[in-house]
């Protein structure tokens, strides 16, 4: 390719990126309206647009009439519209309020938690779930969600791993974009669309020791290779806003980090949307020790590029309202900084259509809201696809529906509230289908279900053991539903011990002694350490928290109405001491060798994970063969097509996820032993085969070189395809100058 053609390609690429970020490209008519409004605003009214209020009290009406704040939380549509009426009809400039809240995995209809959703590897279905969540939230008056969480997480001790897509930046980027599209719809101004917020910017998932809110100290290379890509994908998908994180990053807190908030987000990525702080993350700059007081914190937040202060519950709980005006009057900051942020907020409100349609159009939602039956269908399908079959020794699963008897045991077997998972404030436990109910609805009338709770999640008493053991002995098969409570994962829910909590493990061992035909159904918000269970129990299902349709989805899999297809997106360690553990690690100068003592491994535990990234079994078997590339040599600007054949060699129809990985064998900087670069869900009947093609584009072969600029280097690329990161076939091609 000539230099001229390469230049044209680069120009086209940047035009494409600009178009992908078009949701917040400057619309001339909107810009004129923003200019006109901004010119008439007082300093107080400007700063008011930069504050998100969370309190509702007797003073609220007066404060919003005076323009003291421009965004509120989830109030319910009636209260919301009554407050909006005050602003639209009684305030000086009639700037409508925006209403924003966390909608993490559903609103009224609760879907699987995001970590579970990612295990489906089905971005189209994830997008549909986000669309339903947006419609439900918008019908109740919300315009803006603080989701999706796109943090990469390599440490399952961190409770918020449950809110993201796991450990891989490629998959995380695809899920980030899918969620943004789902929340925002075709146009932000549509009634059923809400602005998405990619959070938490940035590297929050790398908190030291897996402890929430803790410091982050990583290289700029790791930041750019691992933690930034999902945010970039969200921006390119048109995300309305970005949330600055709690953590500090290499000594500079994320909410005052000019490098990430301005140099990367604005200058490199050309982001036109709003940056909102996490809850009080600007005020916490004082605790970080980088601001002497709240006024200093306000200066640092606005200077770095945070547009909106997600405030506390009172007027003294936010940082921007009391201090920004004084900072301008003292000439410490320029009013241009204020105008810049206010412009972004007003632009978002115009794009949301709030000026034209400030109230909730209930008639629109009556006509356009999917039926609950349709919503439950999506929730059930996403739940089924999110379940990962970890083990199935002796083909114990699936069970026959006319089985004579089943012992159903465990603290989560007839639970409703915990099955919603964390971050489901609008979920109604009574709407959740329990595992007990799902199994009852599935089996024949003659099947006897012996349900015994056995113990609570955190119980210390074994008083329920005897009844559980008796039920197991008297049944053909035992199913145990065990794991964490919903509040044991999520924000501020870090753990040092990743065993199944309480005495559940002790009960599992007793039931296994009583009935070797044991199926473990795990419910949890993170990978757990289940080494004993994996070594002994014949069948294990990882089901996470699946939301409203939990019982139906699990019963579909247990009884074979759905062949499990889920694949892990977070590595399962054998023991906590292996953490952090992830598939795309570097090779080291002394890679592990069983025959050489002086290599990188442990003396008391295998170096390998219990279950690797991309792992998941099926009720059938799949074979990959005939991997090939269409070119054995390519130029720096060329693409290569990777083809592979997948065959269902078993006796049941099923879906396999074909996973494409690469490895740059020699480079100027160390590269991971594997990098995910593509995947495809493939449904095959018994004996059926299909040829799949993946295209590796030049930008997929780039990485940051010695000088931290993206490059493509000559050399050998190993290409691997398979059903798991540790079960692949391979070929190679060479990049030449």
Which CATH code is given to the segment(s) 622-735? 2.60.40.10
Give percent of the chain above pLDDT 90: 93
- Fold category of 388-565 in CATH: Rossmann fold (3.40.50)
Architecture of domain 11-365 in CATH?
Alpha-Beta Barrel (3.20)
- Span 183-212, average pLDDT: 97
The pair phi, psi for residue 113, each rounded to 5°, is: -60, 155
DSSP 262: I
Q: How many CB atoms are closer than 10 A to CB 651?
A: 10
Domain ranges in the chain?
A: 11-365, 388-565, 622-735
What DSSP string describes 670-711? Answer: --BS-EEEEEEEEEE-TT-EEEEEEEE-GGGG-EE-TTS-EE
Could you confirm whether 278 is annotated as catalytic? Answer: yes
User: Do the domains 11-365 and 388-565 sit in the same CATH topology, yes or no?
Assistant: no
Q: Does pLDDT of 13 surpass 50? A: no
Identify the active-site residue in 102, 155, 278, 556. Answer: 278
Question: Which phi and psi angles does 26 have, rounded to 5°?
Answer: -70, 110
Average pLDDT over residues 54-74: 89
pLDDT digits (tens, 9 = 90+) for 468-495: 999 999 999 999 999 999 999 999 999 9
pLDDT in tens, 336-364: 999 999 999 999 999 999 999 999 999 99
pLDDT of residue 325: 96
Find the mean pLDDT for residues 677-706: 98
User: What distance in Å separates the CA atoms of residue 109 and residue 638, rounded to the nearest whole number?
Assistant: 45
- What residues form DSSP beta bridges with 657? 681
Exposure string over 529-554, b if 16+ CB within 10 A, otherwise e: bbeebbeebbbbbbbbbbbbbbbbbb
pLDDT average, residue stretch 161-176 = 98
């Amino acid at each position: 390719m000539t230099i001229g053609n390469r230049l044209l390609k680069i120009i086209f690429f940047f035009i494409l990126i600009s178009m992908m970020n078009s949701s917040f490209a400057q619309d001339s008519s909107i810009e004129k309206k923003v200019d006109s409004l901004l010119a008439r605003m007082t300093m107080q009214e400007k700063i008011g647009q930069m504050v998100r209020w969370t309190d509702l009290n007797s003073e609220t009406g007066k404060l919003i009439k005076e323009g003291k704040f421009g965004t509120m939380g989830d109030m319910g549509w009636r209260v919301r519209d009554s407050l909006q009426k005050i602003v639209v009809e009684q305030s000086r400039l009639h700037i409508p309020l925006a209403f924003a809240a966390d909608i993490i995995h559903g609103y009224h209809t609760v879907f699987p938690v995001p970590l579970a959703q990612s295990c489906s590897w089905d971005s189209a279905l994830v997008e549909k779930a986000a669309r339903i969540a947006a419609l439900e939230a918008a019908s109740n008056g919300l315009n803006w969600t603080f989701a999706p969480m796109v943090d990469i997480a390599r440490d399952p001790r961190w409770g918020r791993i449950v809110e993201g897509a796991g450990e891989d930046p490629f998959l995380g980027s695809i899920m980030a974009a899918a969620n943004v599209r789902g929340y925002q719809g075709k146009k932000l101004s549509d009634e059923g669309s809400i602005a998405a917020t990619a959070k938490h910017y940035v590297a929050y998932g790398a908190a030291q020791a897996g402890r929430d809110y803790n410091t982050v100290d990583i290289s700029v290379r790791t930041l750019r290779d691992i933690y930034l890509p999902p945010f970039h994908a969200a921006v390119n998908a048109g995300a309305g806003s970005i949330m600055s994180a709690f953590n500090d990053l290499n000594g500079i807190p994320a909410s005052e980090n000019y490098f990430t908030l301005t140099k990367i987000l604005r200058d490199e990525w050309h982001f036109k949307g709003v940056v909102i702080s996490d809850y009080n993350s600007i005020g916490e700059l004082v605790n970080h020790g980088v601001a002497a007081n709240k006024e200093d914190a306000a200066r640092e937040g606005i200077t770095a590029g945070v547009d909106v202060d997600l405030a506390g519950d009172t007027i003294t709980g936010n940082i921007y309202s009391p201090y920004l005006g004084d900072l301008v009057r003292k000439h410490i900051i320029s009013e241009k900084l204020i105008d810049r942020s206010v412009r972004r907020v007003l632009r978002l409100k115009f794009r949301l259509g709030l000026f034209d349609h400030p109230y909730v159009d209930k008639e629109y939602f009556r006509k356009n809201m999917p039926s609950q039956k349709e919503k439950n269908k999506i929730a059930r399908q996403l739940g089924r696809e999110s379940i990962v079959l970890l083990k199935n020794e002796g083909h114990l699963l699936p069970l026959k529906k006319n089985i004579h008897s089943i012992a159903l045991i465990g603290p989560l077997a007839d639970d409703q509230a915990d099955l919603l998972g964390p971050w489901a404030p609008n979920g109604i436990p009574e709407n959740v289908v329990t595992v007990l109910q799902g199994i009852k609805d599935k089996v024949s009338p003659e099947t006897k279900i012996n349900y015994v709770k056995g113990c609570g999640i955190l119980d210390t008493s074994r008083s329920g053991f005897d009844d559980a053991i008796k039920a197991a002995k008297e049944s053909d098969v035992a199913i145990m539903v065990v794991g964490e409570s919903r509040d044991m994962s999520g924000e501020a829910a870090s753990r040092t011990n990743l065993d199944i909590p309480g005495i559940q493990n002790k009960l599992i061992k007793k039931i296994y002694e009583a009935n070797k035909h044991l199926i473990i159904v795990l419910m949890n918000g993170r990978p757990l350490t289940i080494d004993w269970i994996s070594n002994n129990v014949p069948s294990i299902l990882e089901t996470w928290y699946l939301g409203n349709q939990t019982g139906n989805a699990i019963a579909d899999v247990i009884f074979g109405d759905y062949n499990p297809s889920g694949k892990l997106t977070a590595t399962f360690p054998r023991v906590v001491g292996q953490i952090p553990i992830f598939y795309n690690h570097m090779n080291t100068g002394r890679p592990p060798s069983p025959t050489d003592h002086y290599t990188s491994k442990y003396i008391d535990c295998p170096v390998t994970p219990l279950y690797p990234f991309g792992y998941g079994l099926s009720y059938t078997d799949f074979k990959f063969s005939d991997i090939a590339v269409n070119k054995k040599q390519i130029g720096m600007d060329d693409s290569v097509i990777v083809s592979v054949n997948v065959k269902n060699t078993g006796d049941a129809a099923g879906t396999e996820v074909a996973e494409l990985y690469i490895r740059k064998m020699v480079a100027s900087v160390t590269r991971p032993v594997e990098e995910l670069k593509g995947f495809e869900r493939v449904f095959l009947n018994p004996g059926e085969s299909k040829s799949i093609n993946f295209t590796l584009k030049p930008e997929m072969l780039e990485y940051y070189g010695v000088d931290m600029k993206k490059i493509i280097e000559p050399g050998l690329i190993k290409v691997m395809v398979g059903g798991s990161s540790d079960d692949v076939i391979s070929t190679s091609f060479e990049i030449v100058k």
